[in-house]
Amino acid sequence: MSLTGYLSIQKDRIVLKTLNKWIFYSALAILIPAFMFRNSFPEPAERQYPPLGTPVQSQSSEPAFQATYGSVKYSVEPRYDYDLTGVVVSRAFHNAKFGLHRKWNDHLNVADLCVVWGDNAGMLDLNAFDFWNGQFTCNVSTNSDQAWKTFKPDELSNNHLLTDDDAIREKIQGVKIGDLIHLRGWLSHYANDQGFSRDTSTTRKDRGNGACETIFIRRFEVLDSMDSSWRTAYSVSLLFTIGTALIWLVAVGRGSW
């Protein structure tokens, strides 16, 4: 190889290395804020939700039944038929290998979804609030007195979702913040054969311990997912950050850079 050809190759390597470096840093600079704001809700005027009414609850005639999941048997006692459409503001997916779910051998409770409806979903500035799930609770806070005055506590619920159906479990585990969901099932008391049991709230007006809805799911669907420029920026910048990092590793491994 001639000296001119060698110098040309080295120049191309330097250009590619520099270009890869700046793409990586640019993508990383976008990735960090995009990650922080990826779950920001659209402004009320921009939301396309249909009117989301109060969950429908009626006395159930469904008899008690047995369910098995994770080699554990459960008795389920339906109390009310229940139909809920709302927006997910927080969620927690449970792993029966850890925490109290492991201690109680509770494999049936796949996730907790914190959901809002009514004016909370349609008119409230949801970005003025922080929503987060504890192990069995949904929590909400805000630094704005005005925002708190407009918040309706009876238009939010934390829902313990139960199912022994793997297809339904997969749908639930794919839920993201901002998803508009619809579910049907039974507000239920359930217990396993090792002494664990959990009841359910039957009103949206209670608070504190025992205020969560425990629902054995018959049908679950995501009606719409929240799209935003932040989520798009997060996906694209993550792709470029990983891609340029891999290119750098391969080039260094080959001794090209």
Residue 92 vs residues 52, 69, 129, 190, 212: alpha-carbon distances, Å? 23, 19, 18, 20, 14
Q: What is the pLDDT of residue 49?
A: 81
Task: Note whether 83 and 103 are within 8 A (CB).
Answer: no
Long-range pairs of 72-76 with CB within 8 A, sequence gap ≥ 24? 72/105, 72/107, 72/108, 72/192, 72/193, 72/194, 73/192, 73/193, 74/108, 74/190, 74/191, 74/192, 74/193, 75/190, 75/191, 75/192, 75/193, 76/162, 76/186, 76/188, 76/189, 76/190, 76/216
Q: What is the pLDDT of residue 93?
A: 92
Q: What is the pLDDT along the chain (257 residues), one digit of tens a residue?
A: 565 665 566 677 888 899 999 999 999 999 999 999 989 998 888 887 888 999 999 999 999 999 999 889 999 999 999 999 999 999 999 877 766 677 778 889 999 999 999 999 999 999 999 999 988 889 999 999 999 999 999 999 999 999 999 999 999 999 999 999 999 999 999 999 888 999 999 999 988 878 899 999 999 999 999 888 888 999 999 999 999 999 999 988 887 77
**Phi, psi values for residue 65, rounded to 5°:** -145, 170
In angstroms, rounded to a whole number, what is the distance separating the alpha carbons of residues 35 and 228?
12
Residue 72 vs residues 122, 188, 189: alpha-carbon distances, Å? 41, 18, 16
Neighbouring C-alpha atoms within 13 Å toward the C-beta of 221: 6
Q: What is the pLDDT of residue 210?
A: 81
Q: What is the pLDDT of residue 91?
A: 96
The encoded tokens of residue 63 equal 């008899």
Beta carbons within 8 Å of 177's beta carbon, 6+ residues apart: 39, 88, 89, 90, 91, 226
Beta carbons within 8 Å of 39's beta carbon, 6+ residues apart: 176, 177, 178
Q: Other C-beta atoms within 10 Å of 118: how many? A: 19
Task: Note whether 215 and 160 are within 8 A (CB).
Answer: yes
Q: Which of 73, 95, 25 is nearest to 194 (CA)?
A: 73
What pTM did the predictor assign? 0.85
Cα–chain center distance at 176: 4
In angstroms, rounded to a whole number, what is the distance separating the alpha carbons of residues 214 and 219?
14
Task: Note whether 96 and 106 are within 8 A (CB).
Answer: yes
Helix (H, G, I), strand (E, B) or coil at 25: helix
Q: What is the pLDDT of residues 189-245, one digit of tens each?
A: 999 988 899 999 999 998 887 889 999 999 999 999 988 888 899 999 999 999 999
Helix (H, G, I), strand (E, B) or coil at 228: coil
Q: Which of 96, 83, 88 is nearest to 112 (CA)?
A: 88
Q: What is the pLDDT of residue 9?
A: 64
End-to-end CA distance of the chain: 19
